């Protein structure tokens, strides 16, 4: 995909953007608007609960060579919409707060773009879908994983029917103890903020499978527990802890999970320097007792097509990446990636997408010899996916995407509801029908018959 040249677009007024939630993920959008896409986009306002990060974002505009956007504290979000009149609001706050800003922005006449997961529970999902249908505004969910070239290549192969009808999928995601541990340091470690890894992290993976198959999930049976990031594991590793946080920990020299905020300019400028405003610690002890999310997860998902997904997520693996295999009526498609990981500005793991050779694609027909395929590739974060996604968001003239990678709230619901239902299944031990929590799921844009975006979801069958 290529961005249209500015000459074609000189008469097009720039779209006015506001961003709410000014942590690390915001930087991707701010830099995209203020640099690569400045010909057709401008950042007119930024908003955050933390005045320090608000100022950090405004100063970054100067480094980008752009005028500083107007800054608003969270309590003034509605005033920001009135005064700055953005066309689009980008929501990059913590997960459980997305719905509030999405709904208020759509009600004020703005289009919205939200980071994944769209939200964290079924009721918030319903509220977002209802607001979209009431207002008719565009609600986009940024599933950047779809844009990673080898994952688009998998879509291409499946669309072309290379292995026939997909009957089952085996998908196993591994987070190593650099990246995986990071979900246990801050707000992600509490389900009330993140929905746990079934929602916060697996929303990417469930969306990929939904989109790859072009299918709508129906039911989930899940298992999971916190087995590694526990107080007991700290002791088994020879520590006297757990303690509260790395900054005040008496055992930093002996703990391989020590995160030094002071010596990392990025983390210091974004978090440490502003924690007096809100008590947001970026370096909570990964073994502390109050963590309530799982690190070891498994799920069986069934689809409207009859296909099944066997899924696992482990957050303490020796390497980072994934394996996925599709079993079809004409053969099997296998794909695996060993990823590089960026957590604190220094950490990487050996290998990784950037080093090449760690992305594999293999097609095995039912009859005849299997063969390896040359993986598609691109440079940049998240396997090149972030850059390609921005090129699909900001320019006014975009080529038609045959993979339909631009996702809206329907795909947001379908992915996040698997994780929400999985959390219910963890509590009850029972298989959970997604419709019992949400009502009939809206078939996303990639489905054979996408749901019209006019009808409200059916009433709940259970509370």
Ligand X SMILES: NC(=O)c1ccc[n+]([C@@H]2O[C@H](COP(=O)([O-])OP(=O)(O)OC[C@H]3O[C@@H](n4cnc5c(N)ncnc54)[C@H](O)[C@@H]3O)[C@@H](O)[C@H]2O)c1
Residues 359-418 that bind ligand X (CB under 6 A): 382
Q: Which are the contacts of 189, defined by CB distance < 8 A and separation ≥ 6?
A: 183, 284, 291, 292, 293
Q: Is 105 in the site for ligand X (CB under 6 A)?
A: no
Considering the complex, state which of residue 36 and residue 227 has its C-beta at the smaller distance from ligand X: 36
Q: How many CB atoms lie within 10 A of CB 240?
A: 10
Considering the complex, state which of residue 76 and residue 445 has its C-beta at the smaller distance from ligand X: 76
Q: Which of 30, 144, 210, 447 binds ligand X (CB under 6 A)?
A: 144
Q: Is 50 in the site for ligand X (CB under 6 A)?
A: yes
Q: How many CB atoms lie within 10 A of CB 330?
A: 13
Q: How many CA atoms lie within 13 A of 292 on its CB side?
A: 11
**Bond prior to 117 in cis (omega within 30° of 0):** yes
Q: Which of 31, 34, 42, 48 binds ligand X (CB under 6 A)?
A: 48
Using the contact rule CB under 6 A, the part of the chain among 94-102, 124-132, 169-177, 301-309 near ligand X is 94-102
Orientation angle between helical segments 409-428 and 122-135, nearest 10 degrees: 160
Shortest distance, position 136 Cβ to ligand X, whole Å: 25
Q: Which of 19, 20, 246, 407 binds ligand X (CB under 6 A)?
A: 20
Shortest distance, position 251 Cβ to ligand X, whole Å: 26
Q: Is 92 in the site for ligand X (CB under 6 A)?
A: yes
Q: Is 74 in the site for ligand X (CB under 6 A)?
A: yes
Q: Is 59 in the site for ligand X (CB under 6 A)?
A: no
Q: Is 23 in the site for ligand X (CB under 6 A)?
A: yes
Chain-centroid distance, C-alpha 382 = 11
Q: Which of 49, 89, 333, 435 binds ligand X (CB under 6 A)?
A: 49
Considering the complex, state which of residue 16 and residue 200 has its C-beta at the smaller distance from ligand X: 200
Q: Which of 16, 42, 80, 94 binds ligand X (CB under 6 A)?
A: 94
Choose among 173, 157, 212, 145: nearest CA to 320: 173
Q: Which are the contacts of 11, defined by CB distance < 8 A and separation ≥ 6?
A: none
Q: Answer whether 321's CB lies under 8 Å from 340's CB.
A: no
**Bond prior to 11 in cis (omega within 30° of 0):** no
User: Which residues bind to ligand X, rule: CB under 6 A?
Assistant: 20-26, 48-50, 53, 74, 92-95, 97, 115-116, 144, 200, 382
């Amino acid at each position: 995909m290529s961005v249209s040249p500015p000459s074609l677009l000189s008469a097009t007024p720039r779209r006015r953007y506001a961003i709410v939630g000014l942590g690390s993920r915001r930087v991707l959008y701010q830099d995209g608007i203020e640099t690569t896409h400045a010909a057709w986009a401008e950042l007119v306002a930024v908003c955050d609960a933390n005045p320090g990060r608000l100022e950090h974002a405004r100063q970054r505009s100067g480094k980008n060579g752009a005028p500083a956007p107007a800054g608003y504290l969270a309590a003034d979000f509605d005033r920001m919409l009135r005064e700055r009149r953005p066309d689009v609001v980008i929501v990059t706050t913590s997960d459980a707060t997305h719905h509030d800003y999405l709904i208020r922005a759509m009600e004020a006449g703005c289009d919205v773009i939200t980071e994944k997961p769209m939200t964290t529970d079924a009721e918030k999902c319903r509220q977002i879908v209802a607001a979209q249908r009431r207002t008719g505004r565009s609600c986009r969910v940024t599933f950047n994983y779809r844009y990673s070239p080898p994952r688009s290549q998998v879509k291409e192969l499946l669309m072309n029917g290379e292995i026939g009808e997909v009957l089952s999928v085996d998908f196993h995601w591994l987070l190593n103890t650099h990246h995986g541990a990071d979900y246990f340091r801050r707000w992600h470690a509490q389900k009330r903020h993140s929905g746990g890894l079934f929602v916060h992290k697996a929303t990417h993976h469930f969306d990929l499978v939904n989109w790859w198959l072009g299918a709508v999930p129906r039911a989930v049976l899940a298992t999971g527990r916190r087995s590694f990031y526990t107080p007991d594991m700290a002791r088994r590793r020879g520590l006297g802890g757990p303690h509260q946080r790395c900054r005040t920990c008496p055992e930093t020299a002996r703990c391989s999970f020590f995160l030094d905020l002071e010596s990392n300019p990025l983390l210091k400028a974004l978090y440490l320097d502003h924690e007096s405003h809100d008590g947001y610690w970026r370096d909570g002890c990964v073994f502390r007792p109050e963590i309530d999310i799982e690190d070891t997860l498994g799920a069986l998902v069934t689809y409207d097509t009859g296909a099944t997904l066997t899924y696992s997520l482990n957050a303490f693996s020796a390497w980072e990446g994934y394996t996925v295999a599709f079993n079809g009526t004409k053969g099997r498609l296998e794909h695996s990636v060993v990823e590089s990981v960026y957590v604190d500005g220094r950490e990487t793991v050996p290998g990784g997408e950037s080093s090449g050779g760690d992305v594999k694609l293999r097609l095995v027909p039912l009859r005849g010899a299997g063969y390896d395929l040359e993986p598609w590739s691109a440079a940049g974060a998240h396997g090149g996916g972030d850059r390609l996604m921005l090129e699909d968001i900001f320019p006014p003239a975009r080529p038609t995407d045959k993979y339909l990678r631009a996702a809206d709230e329907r795909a947001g619901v379908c992915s996040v509801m698997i994780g929400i239902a999985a959390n219910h299944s963890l509590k009850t031990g029972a298989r959970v029908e997604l419709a019992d929590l949400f009502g009939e799921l809206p078939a996303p844009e990639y489905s054979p018959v996408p749901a019209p975006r006019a009808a409200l979801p059916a009433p709940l069958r259970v509370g």
